[in-house]
A and B are shown apart, each in its own frame.
Chain A
Amino acid sequence: MVRPDRRTLWLVVPVTLALLPHALYVPLWASLAVALALAWRLTPLWRKDSLAQKAIRILLAIAGVIATWLQFHTLAGPEAGISLLVQMVALKLLESDRRRDHAVAVLAGYFLVMATLIHHQQFAVAAWLLLTTAALTAALASSQASEPLPLGTALAGGGSLVLQALPLAILMFLLFPRLPSPMAGLIHVETGRTGLSDSMVPGSVSRLILSDEVALRVDFADPATDARGLYWRGPVLADFDGRTWRRGGDRATLPAALPVGRQIDYSITLEAAAQPWLPVAGLTRSLPVADARLTAYQEWRTPRQDHERLRYAVQSWLDYRLEAELPAWQRAQALALPAGGNPDSRALARLWADQSATPREIVDRALAYFRREPFHYTLNPPPLGEHGVDDFLFLTRRGFCEHYAGAFTVLMRAAGVPARVVTGYQGGELNPVGGYWIVRQRDAHAWAEVWLAGAGWVRVDPTAAVAPERVERGLAEALPMAERPLLNLPANWLRPWRQGWDFLNNGWNQWVLGYDFQRQQRLLARLSPSLASLKGMLWAMLAGIGLILAGLALALLRNADDRPKTEVERLYARFLQGLARAGLIKGPAEGPLDFAARASRGRPDLAGQIDTITRLYLALRYGGGAGSEIGKLRRALYIFRPGGGTASKK
């Protein structure tokens, strides 16, 4: 078995590192082809000069282009482009043997790293990025040597280059002017994001419940705030067709809202999602997200249908009065029910309405009903028939938050109380490491809002009537033991690790991935107001670059090799320097004693000192002089001032 030579490995391994993450994205056949090509390159079957193999390479290249075209119907888009690039890099490796080919393969490897960042920018990716960059750089260095370098030397070389590049990279990262928004349309990369949706059927929220993904993180100005009591308002669903709840139509009018009581401050980091909703707890007047809009239902949303990770500071009032006067269209919408559906529920609601003096009493009767009757909170409700609400209220009585919120709203509408379903998140988990709250997809929730004269829209959470633990302690506590999602079973010993990891990720998201135009402006303005302007940034950048270059030059170009190693040599070098300034230069082949004799003749006034220093030096350097001697040498040099004496010039 012939092992591939080190030069080949030095090229193939780093480039493979750069290729690896793309296996997740390029078509399977491309990954397989690349893997086979790399394997071929490493076997002794590979010959660089074989004409037949050259023909095979050309055929492979043509086949790759055709296959890519068949797969994507284009060669230009990012997916097709990267897929093509991956194949071409592998083919390049098949032909590489000259220095220039190596360099081209490494440069392509750098580009592959960048292409990965389009999909992944997590904290863990950064470690891979640094490793791959160091390996590729070492591969570039290795291609320069006539004999392959030893592994340690090459890696140390690549690693030290990366380390020396870091100060400049960090400076430029902080100061290079960012664009207020991306230049062109974003590549839309589907990652199967979950999140709040603007329709609800029984089961749609419970699907989210199984997801451990982070939805948002909240940092309260007042660290004592408990996020578990807060409702993060998402889309409001006001249209009901008998089975599905949907958002009502949008209107230009904005709801009238009056804040009541005390204000709280917090900031939210919202993970990227394929939905436009910006969850907020309570009432807020403005949201610092570019083009964020408020809707007629007091929802906040982005103009587009999706968003990247966002961070926004919120000042909100947890208590407020929303729409004390209900517009006619709202009333009509909030009372509408499909004709003929759920007759038993309607009858029950009408009964309550007849028995009650005020709408508030109807609400209380309904909640009491949920509490009194044997309702169960479960992730696996039995299927419901044509009259879903009737079946749920009188037959199955097992359901999840969306069942309760939906049924409650139907009851209210049937009783003549305007009502609608609100979805969002409720609950969360404190990360004690970072002091912030994590709200995950599994904290998705649905509740109801009823409109009461004088009070406006009032939040009612019928789930709390059935399973108060859901609201107070979170989902896992509320579910029967057997139904608790596996992921959520907090192996308690694992929890601190998970929290620490989340803390790292959160910091990474905030400071590296979230470092955009706004954040840059804010950071620089905090450092110095003059920095936040384009001119200030450029000047600071130039100054910083100058400093770093000077530092690099000092560290790398001052000839470190020529510097004496030990203190004794350093002291003697200082002695020589002093004499050199006085015109007495030690010849390269002149011994210390000969030089001392000559120097003493040149400067009789210094003869005693020269003699002492030379003797001490020789004793320390060659005679194994005692440690105390070095102190004497140091003192002798301290008083040695050849420049100041009576110079006897020739």
Chain B
Amino acid sequence: MAKRRFNVPWRQPETEAGPITLDSRRLYILPTRIGLVFALLVFGLLVTSANYGISLGYLFTFLLGGIGVAGLFHSQRNLLGLTLRPLAAVPVYAGEAARFRLRIEKPGARPRGGLVLNHAEASSPQLDLISAGSGELVLELAQARRGFHKPGRLILASTWPLGLFRCWSVFALDWGVLVYPRPAAQPLPFPATTGEGRALSWRRPGEDEFSALREYRPGDSPRHIAWKSVARGQAPLTKQFTGSGGSESWLDWADCPETDTEGRLSRLTRWALDGERAGLVWGLTLPGFRLPPGRGERHLQQALAALARHG
């Protein structure tokens, strides 16, 4: 069994899969600046009461002190028992902001409020769960570089209910966003089609000759499904066609006019997007990676993911 380390807020938290349910061991609490001013005020009131011998003043002073203490408990109670469920982040292109959505579920009917998700770079807008049972905190983080990026250390914080104390929990979720390379700004002609140099066929590209059957994958065109086998009660299969005769292009690392890695990836990304927009059939060749020609949203995403993760 792993040795349990003492939980301190500045330690880099261990990455967890989520969902996380907040228990008191993961919550930290400290007074806010207003909380310190409040403490100073209570002290001042105590001195005033003692100075002038105001008996009711003592009672009022201690009442305020009690409100502060009760506020401390309420502050912790506000986060206690919440379940944090990371939702999948939609991939973005480098230069855009990724939206990390954290779903917050409260266990009972009691209102929870003032929830904010903090990151070293940005904070989410505040979420109040007054009557709703759950809601989403959206953290927008600008993504400058391609690749798979994890937000890392995150803080769920709240100064609810009085703003005198800040209660927070530090965690790192197994959570990330895929950032595609930024598409090159300058358009360049799409790479020429290969094969026998045939120009565009009247046929729809990629549908030339039947070659094999493979397992159905979500996203396959219904026109390619082998309905006969479905009718026989078998698992759905997808017909595959070799595109050798079609007008297919290869987006090749070596064909890029750019010479640096990022420049080439940007170029390839741009081509892939252009190709998808134009409805072309294309394949992708990177050093150590080869995506057979194809088309469609899924194909594009495979290509973009490969570009994002390259290197």
Q: Mask for A100-114, Cβ within 8 A of B = 1, else 0?
A: 100110010011011
Q: Mask for B157-186, Cβ within 8 A of A = 1, else 0?
A: 001111110000000000000000000000
CA distance A560 to B107 in the complex (A): 10
> Quick one: which of B63, B74, B128 contacts A556, CB cutoff 8 A?
B74
- B-side contacts of A181, CB under 8 Å: 53
- B-side contacts of A542, CB under 8 Å: none
With A186-B53, A512-B55, A515-B55 known, 12 other A-B pairs at CB within 8 A are A111-B44, A114-B57, A114-B60, A133-B64, A143-B163, A145-B114, A145-B130, A165-B66, A166-B66, A170-B59, A514-B55, A562-B108
Contact A144 B160 (CB under 8 A): yes
5 nearest CB pairs, A to B = A561-B108, A165-B66, A168-B66, A182-B53, A172-B62
> Quick one: which of A133, A147, A553, A560 contacts B63, CB cutoff 8 A?
A133
- A-side contacts of B44, CB under 8 Å: 111
Contact B57 A165 (CB under 8 A): no
CA distance A125 to B194 in the complex (A): 93
Main secondary structure of the interface of A (DSSP, over half): helix
Question: Which of B45-80 touch A at CB < 8 Å?
Answer: 45, 48-67, 69-71, 73-74, 76-77, 80
Interface membership of A179, Cβ < 8 A: yes
- A-side contacts of B148, CB under 8 Å: none
List 29 interface pairs A-B (beta carbons < 8 Å), by A numbering: A99-B163, A100-B34, A104-B34, A107-B41, A111-B44, A117-B60, A126-B56, A133-B63, A140-B162, A141-B160, A144-B160, A145-B130, A146-B127, A164-B66, A165-B67, A168-B62, A169-B62, A179-B50, A182-B53, A183-B51, A184-B51, A514-B55, A549-B69, A556-B76, A557-B76, A557-B77, A561-B108, A561-B110, A562-B81
> Quick one: which of A103, A167, A560 contacts B66, CB cutoff 8 A?
A167
- Which residue from chain A places its CB closest to the CB of B59 in the assembled complex? A173
- B-side contacts of A179, CB under 8 Å: 50, 53
Interface membership of B113, Cβ < 8 A: yes
CA distance A516 to B53 in the complex (A): 8
CA distance A168 to B161 in the complex (A): 19
CA distance A514 to B55 in the complex (A): 7
> Quick one: which of B37, B61, B81 contacts A107, CB cutoff 8 A?
B37
CA distance A143 to B159 in the complex (A): 11
- A-side contacts of B61, CB under 8 Å: 114
Interface membership of B109, Cβ < 8 A: yes
> Quick one: which of A137, A166, A173 contacts B58, CB cutoff 8 A?
A173
Q: Mask for B247-285, Cβ within 8 A of A = 1, else 0?
A: 000000000000000000000000000000000000000
- B-side contacts of A173, CB under 8 Å: 58-59, 62
CA distance A149 to B71 in the complex (A): 17
Contact B58 A182 (CB under 8 A): no
B56 → chain A closest CB, angstroms: 4
> Quick one: which of A100, A140, A512, A556 contacts B56, CB cutoff 8 A?
A512
Question: Which of A130-167 touch B at CB < 8 Å?
Answer: 133, 137, 140-141, 143-147, 149, 153, 157, 161-162, 164-167
Given A100-B34, A144-B161, A172-B65, A164-B70 contact (CB < 8 Å): yes
- A-side contacts of B63, CB under 8 Å: 133, 162, 165-166, 169
Given A153-B130, A557-B24, A561-B108, A512-B70 contact (CB < 8 Å): no
Contact B67 A557 (CB under 8 A): no
Given A103-B34, A166-B66, A114-B163 contact (CB < 8 Å): no
Interface membership of A559, Cβ < 8 A: yes
A175 → chain B closest CB, angstroms: 10
Interface membership of A176, Cβ < 8 A: yes
- Which residue from chain B places its CB closest to the CB of A184 in the assembled complex? B51
A413 → chain B closest CB, angstroms: 45
Interface membership of B38, Cβ < 8 A: yes
- Which residue from chain B places its CB closest to the CB of A171 in the assembled complex? B62
Range of interface residues on B (Cβ < 8 Å): 35 or more
Contact A176 B69 (CB under 8 A): no
CA distance A426 to B61 in the complex (A): 40
Contact B52 A182 (CB under 8 A): yes
Query: Could you tell me which B residues sit within 8 Å of A by CB distance?
Result: 24, 34, 37-38, 41, 44-45, 48-67, 69-71, 73-74, 76-77, 80-81, 106-111, 113-114, 125-128, 130, 159-164
Contact B159 A144 (CB under 8 A): yes
Number of A-B contacts (CB under 8 A): 171
Given A153-B130, A516-B53, A557-B24, A144-B113 contact (CB < 8 Å): yes
Question: Which of A346-391 touch B at CB < 8 Å?
Answer: none
Contact A561 B81 (CB under 8 A): yes
CA distance A118 to B41 in the complex (A): 17
Contact B67 A121 (CB under 8 A): no
Q: Mask for A171-205, Cβ within 8 A of B = 1, else 0?
A: 01100101101111011000000000000000000
- B-side contacts of A512, CB under 8 Å: 55-56, 59
- A-side contacts of B57, CB under 8 Å: 114, 117-118
Contact B163 A149 (CB under 8 A): no
A87 → chain B closest CB, angstroms: 19
- A-side contacts of B45, CB under 8 Å: 110-111, 114
CA distance A167 to B67 in the complex (A): 10
CA distance A179 to B46 in the complex (A): 12
B172 → chain A closest CB, angstroms: 23
CA distance A110 to B24 in the complex (A): 31
Contact B41 A186 (CB under 8 A): no
- Which residue from chain B places its CB closest to the CB of A561 in the assembled complex? B108
- B-side contacts of A186, CB under 8 Å: 52-53
Contact A559 B67 (CB under 8 A): no
A166 → chain B closest CB, angstroms: 7
Contact A516 B55 (CB under 8 A): yes
CA distance A463 to B37 in the complex (A): 63
- B-side contacts of A183, CB under 8 Å: 50-51
CA distance A114 to B47 in the complex (A): 11
A224 → chain B closest CB, angstroms: 33
A336 → chain B closest CB, angstroms: 43
> Quick one: which of A125, A178, A556 contacts B77, CB cutoff 8 A?
A556
Contact A125 B56 (CB under 8 A): yes
CA distance A99 to B106 in the complex (A): 25
CA distance A409 to B99 in the complex (A): 98
Given A140-B163, A165-B67, A556-B74, A129-B56 contact (CB < 8 Å): yes
